[in-house]
Amino acid sequence: MVLKKKIVVVGTGYVGLVTGVSLSEIGHTVICLDIDQTKVKKMKNGISPIYEPGIEELMKRNIEKGTLDFTTSYKQAFENVEVIYIAVGTPEREDGTADLKYIKQVALDIAYNIKNEVVIVIKSTVPIGTNEFLEKYISSLTKVKFHIVSNPEFLREGSALHDTFHGDRIIIGAENKYAASIVEKINQPFGIEIFTTNLRSAEMIKYASNAFLATKISFINEIADLCERLEANIEEVATGMGFDKRIGKSFLNAGIGYGGSCFPKDTKALVNIAGQEKFDFNLLRAVIEVNKKQQVLLVTKAKEYYGSLKGKRIALLGLAFKPNTDDMREAASIITSEKLILSGAEVVCYDPIAMDNAKKVLPEVVEFANSAEEALQNADAAFIMTEWEEIKNIPISKYSEKLRDKVLFDGRNCYDLNSFLVEDIDYFSVGRPSVLSKKQLV
Ligand code: UGA
């Protein structure tokens, strides 16, 4: 017997919207609350404010069933509410610490608006100890009974729905057994293993997981650099390592580093959290440094190739921090285009989905093309920044036909090296031998 609850999810970013939609899909009645009226109006019509494959279909289905609704009104949302999920952002402050202003505002709004006993579930990534702080903070503002549960999120943008329904684990952190059991029952229909901890451990599991994955990426990128110097091939090395179950096959793709709204922010936040405890998290600081170097790797390679980039016209293919998302946060394309322009190059770019967001964050002088082919037309060289399917499917002959200098720098190892042996083009990727048009692997 599934326990059906009336749930309110506060915040409709990636985490909030996906959580709300998924909870309604498994049978709960969900209201998603957001302060942005235009966004709420769109969502009520089944239009998603984020690009996430499959989400609109689920939104429409559950709106029609009457189990999913959207509102800007706390009063309306909190009527007879049993469980409130907080999924607002915890952005990075200038000093790298997490900014809790949105979460504190929501806590205040909850305290002033709840009328009956509720379970408050924290989905947002928050520094260790924040859940305890929220407990005290809300208690100081209301006499209504409530319980705090930490339920960190492990979904990836672009495959968020798949991750929600097929995740590896659900973490539930609570000091109160009754509250933990409610959240456990809410999640049971997902059929995913549930691991229960105390509040602080749950908060730490989230940071430690993201920091570990970021470490894997920086580690493989350092090995990739060594592979280039020692004439090994990172793809073979990563595959060979991945056979060992203790290492695992995933997150060993070398490339131009990690971006997005999570790894960069959470690694820096954890270094800061450690610092506050007078602990120097050396390893994680190195992971962050390696990633900075990695994000501009293609500029470094192009400079080595050309000597100077002055006057060169470079086509950037893919702008989002990874495929299947329109998210530009901390994308390598931002720092890469800035560096190219500072080096005197012209930049023309293309992304299948992220162009509108890219226009807001890339330097003004960057030109935007309507297709990959248009970007390549009259460019001297191309950089592959994001491994979109559309970009991986560009025939190699297109590059040699369109690019003036016939040189491709691939930051995501999209192509098989051997396919370049028959083409008149120089090809540089990450951690693998370069293919020069003289047809040698060097
Ligand atoms: C990440 C985690 O994977 C999720 O588990 C977590 O819930 C989420 O952060 C979060 O904290 O909200 P996400 O940032 O959406 O998810 O994207 P990932 O698929 O993890 O990729 C992050 C970055 O790492 C991308 O720039 C990607 O290109 C890069 N990456 C990933 C590599 O360079 N190599 C790899 O092998 C894997």
| CATH number for region 206-292 | 1.10.1040.10
pLDDT greater than 60 at residue 441 = no
The preferred substitution site among 126, 215, 263, 410 for testing ligand 1, maximizing ligand atoms within 8 Å of CB, is: 263
pLDDT value, residue 438: 63
The preferred substitution site among 122, 219, 322 for testing ligand 1, maximizing ligand atoms within 8 Å of CB, is: 322
Report the share of the chain in percent with pLDDT over 70. 98
Pocket lining: 259 vs ligand 1, CB cutoff 6 Å: yes
pLDDT band with cut points at 50, 70 and 90 for residue 27: very high
Compute the distance between CA of residue 384 and CA of residue 370 in angstroms, rounded to an integer: 16
pLDDT value, residue 424: 87
Compute the distance between CA of residue 158 and CA of residue 76 in angstroms, rounded to an integer: 31
Q: Of 255, 339, 242, 341, which is closest to residue 291 (Cα–Cα)?
A: 255
- Mean pLDDT calculated for residue range 76-80: 91
Q: Whose CA is nearest to atom 24 of ligand 1?
A: 258
For the stretch 267-305, pLDDT in tens is 999 999 999 999 999 999 999 999 999 999 999 999 999
pLDDT value, residue 227: 98
Pocket lining: 255 vs ligand 1, CB cutoff 6 Å: yes
Q: Tell me the pTM.
A: 0.95
Tokens 């969502």 sit on residue: 43
pLDDT greater than 60 at residue 442 = no
pLDDT greater than 90 at residue 51 = no
Which two three-digit tokens encode residue 9? 């999810």
pLDDT value, residue 373: 97
- When the pLDDT of each residue in the chain is averaged and rounded to a whole number, the result is 95
pLDDT greater than 80 at residue 439 = no
| CATH number for region 296-428 | 3.40.50.720
Is-contact 161 94, C-beta < 8 A? no
- Mean pLDDT calculated for residue range 134-154: 97
Is-contact 7 186, C-beta < 8 A? yes
pLDDT band with cut points at 50, 70 and 90 for residue 422: confident
- Answer whether 6-197 and 296-428 agree in fold: yes
- Mean pLDDT calculated for residue range 46-58: 94
* DSSP state letters, 242-274: HTSTTT-STT---SS---SSSHHHHHHHHHHHH
For the stretch 254-270, pLDDT in tens is 999 999 999 999 999 99
For the stretch 210-246, pLDDT in tens is 999 999 999 999 999 999 999 999 999 999 999 999 9
pLDDT value, residue 370: 97
| Domain boundaries of the chain, sorted by first residue | 6-197, 206-292, 296-428
Rg (CA), the chain: 24
Compute the distance between CA of residue 437 and CA of residue 424 in angstroms, rounded to an integer: 5
* DSSP state letters, 363-374: -TT-EE-SSHHH
Q: Whose CA is nearest to atom 1 of ligand 1?
A: 156
Q: Which are the catalytic amino acids?
A: 262
pLDDT band with cut points at 50, 70 and 90 for residue 92: confident
Residue 326 CA to ligand 1 center (angstroms) comes to 14
Residue 257 CA to ligand 1 center (angstroms) comes to 10
Please give the CATH topology (third level) of the domain spanning 6-197. Rossmann fold (3.40.50)
